[in-house]
Structures are given as C-alpha cells and as structure tokens.
Amino acid sequence: MIRMLLVVFTCLVGGGSAALAGAEGTSRDPAKLHLESANAIIVDAENGLSIYAKAAHDVTPIASLTKLMTAMVVLDSGVPLDERLDVDLADIDFLKGSRSRLRMGTSLPRAEMLRLALMSSENRAASALARHHPGGTRAFVAAMNAKALTLGMAQSRFEDSTGLSPNNVSTAIDLARLVRAAAQYPLIREYSTTEAHFVDVDMTGHTLGFNNSNALVKKSDWDIQLQKTGYIREAGRCVVLLAMIASRPMVIVLLDSIGKYSRIGDAQRVKHWLETGDSLPAPDVRTRMKNAVKAFVVKNKSAKESRDTAKSRGKPIKGTFPPRLVQNVKVRGA
C-alpha cells in the first residue's frame, strides 16, 4: 500500500527521471524533453496526473492567461450575454500602454466582448466585462479570487481582469487546474479556439476583423480544444492548451518562454515527445542571440555603406533633406 502511494505521488509531482508509459506503449522519458519555458507542466486531463513538470510550483506573473478566469466569472454570474457593453475611458490601458482596436464608445454584446478577450486577447474587452459586472470591477476581481480558491488554486492571486498587472500571479500547477475547469464551459472552448472573427463596431456598419493570438489553432495537425496566450514583460511569453495528443486530452502549460516564438516551439516539442517519446532539439539560445547580433551588425553596416555611397554621389539620403531645402526651412520660435 505504501509503495502504491509513493508511485501515485511521483506521478502527481511529475518531471521525474523515470520513463513514463505513453499511449500505445510509447515510453516517455522526461529527461528527453528540453523546453525553453522557465515553468511548465503537462497533465493528462482525464485523470489529472502530471506527466512532466518543470519549476511547476514557482509563483510567476501570468499575463493574459488571466482571461480564462475572467471568462469563467462572467459565465458564472449569469449576466445576459446579449447585453451591450460600451468601451469607456476606464478600459484604456494606462499601465502598459497596450494598443486596442476597440475605440472609446464602441458598443458590443457581452458575448462578443468575451469572444474577443479569449481569442484575440482584447484588453479593453476584458476590462469592460469586469466593469459591467454587478458591483463593478472590484466585485469582479473579488469573484475571480474566490473562484481560484474553490478550484484549489492556492498560489494564485488576481488584481485585474486583463492580466496587464504583474500582480496577477499563479503557478503552472494552478494553471493546469484552471484549464481543466475552464474546459467545462462550452463557450470558453468555442471562443478561445475561434480562428478569426468579424464584429460590427458601430451603427454605420463598420466591421473589424480579429485573428486568434495563437497560430496553432490554424494548424491541421493540432486538435486544440481550448487555449490562451499571454505576454507582459514581467511574465514573458506564455501559453496554455488543452489538446488531443496521442489519443489523450492533454493540458499543456508553458510560462516565461524566451523569445517571441519559443512558446510555440515548446508546444511543438511537447506534442512530438508525447506522440513519439523522442525529443525535438531546442535551439541553442546563445547561438540564436549571437546570430541575431551578427545580422544586426551586418544590416547596419550595409545601411551605412549605402548612405556613404549616396553622399559621395551628391544624392539626398533617404530620411533627410537636400542642403538647399534645409537652408530654406524656417524654424518656429527661432
């Protein structure tokens, strides 16, 4: 009995050195999986057992992964999804200065705001959802933290509905619980995996198109049932997925990935490892940075040579005025 409990505990914490049996007898050795993400966990969604873990207990900012909790609180509240919500000054991001295509005064049904927050990570949409909650934003955030406790997310804290605050924190383990809970909501599964969507943003018939922030939803070799991406400087690049891999529903949590595309690369490495037991090589970060610096130097050297050539030929350099025009420019206040 004691031996059995020890085996179960090893599976729950994950990331052990022992090889794990996969679907159809595939042997999965966690030591073969090399990820660039600082924190990660892979969980079998059917039985809740961890297959792989990397710094999964570390508390870290989670950026827009927050919006999965936002969506659950909205749907739990029972507010009408056809009610129109407006974008107000309070929804503008003065913290990070992030851009939004939803201008002030834009009015959309709550369901559309929810879809845009999940698929396109629209911050103003997520803010408007919280602001129009019964009791306002403060009550909404309180409901988010209460929901986290009911899900057993003891290391998670929420301060806003968008994820722009670096004080929205969690762990890979807690986020796996969040993904499994969010998957119980059909609308969250549908909205988060919508590839592209068009909305009429005003009465004039002006239409805006939005794309999913996760390129993997368009990949034919992926069967993604739920996803969410996230990024702020403090959190790095993050992504969570619920996908069918090797005939099993798998939760994948990847946090604080290095580089713009590394979270997607890590997801591909996880998928390959789950299906074959083999690893795809992770790119060497130092080599990649060295090549980037080299390319930058070559580009600037080439640009300098072009400017020198143009100067020697007496031609105006792009981005400057010919000398005779500069002399004729009158400076205001001079």
Active site members: 64, 67, 121
Rounded Cα gap, residues 223 and 181, in angstroms: 19
| Residue bearing tokens 């004729």 | 328
Instruction: Name the DSSP class of 296.
Output: H
Would residue 158 be called left, alpha or beta, if left means φ above 0 and alpha means ψ between -120 and 50 degrees? beta
Residue 259 buriedness (CB in 10 A; 0-12 / 13-18 / 19+):
middle
- Give the containing element (helix H, strand E) for 216: none
- Do residues 224 and 216 lie in contact, with contact meaning Cβ atoms separated by under 8 Å? yes
The total of other beta-carbon atoms located within 10 Å of residue 44's CB is: 16
Instruction: Name the DSSP class of 157.
Output: B
SS3 108: strand
Q: 170 — phi, psi (to 5°)?
A: -165, -170
Rounded Cα gap, residues 62 and 170, in angstroms: 6
- Do residues 255 and 38 lie in contact, with contact meaning Cβ atoms separated by under 8 Å? yes
Rounded to 5°, the CA angle 287-284-59 comes to: 125
Q: How many residues does the chain have?
A: 334
Rounded Cα gap, residues 32 and 310, in angstroms: 54
Non-local (6+) Cβ contacts of 281 within 8 A are 34
Rounded Cα gap, residues 52 and 111, in angstroms: 35
